[in-house]
Amino acid sequence: MRKGQHVEIRDPSWTFRVAWRGKTLMRWNWKRALLQRFLPIPFSARNAEYSLLASTDDDVRPSAQLLRLGIQAIQRAADLRLDALDQRFPPNFPYPPSLWPGQQYRLLAALAEILQPRQVIEIGTGAGVSTLAMKQYLPPDAQMATFDVAPWSRHPDACLTQADFADGRLIQHTDDLSDPAVMQRHHALFSRAELIFLDAPKDGVMEPKLLANLQQVPFTKPPLLILDDIRVWTMLKVWRGIPYPKLDLTSFGSWTGTGLVEWGRGV
**CA dist., res. 97 & res. 81, Å (int):** 10
Average pLDDT over residues 189-210: 95
Higher-pLDDT residue of 4 and 31 is 31
| pTM > 0.95 | no
Neighbours of 161 (CB within 10 A): 13
Q: Interior CA angle at 196 toward 191 and 200, to 5°?
A: 120
- Each residue of 58-102: pLDDT tens digit? 999 999 999 999 999 999 999 999 999 999 998 888 889 999 999
Q: How confident is the model at residue 37 (pLDDT cuts 50, 70, 90)?
A: confident
Enumerate the CATH 3.40.50.150 domain ranges in the chain, comma separated.
64-262
Supply the CATH classification number for the domain 64-262: 3.40.50.150
In the predicted model, is pLDDT for residue 21 greater than 70? Answer: no
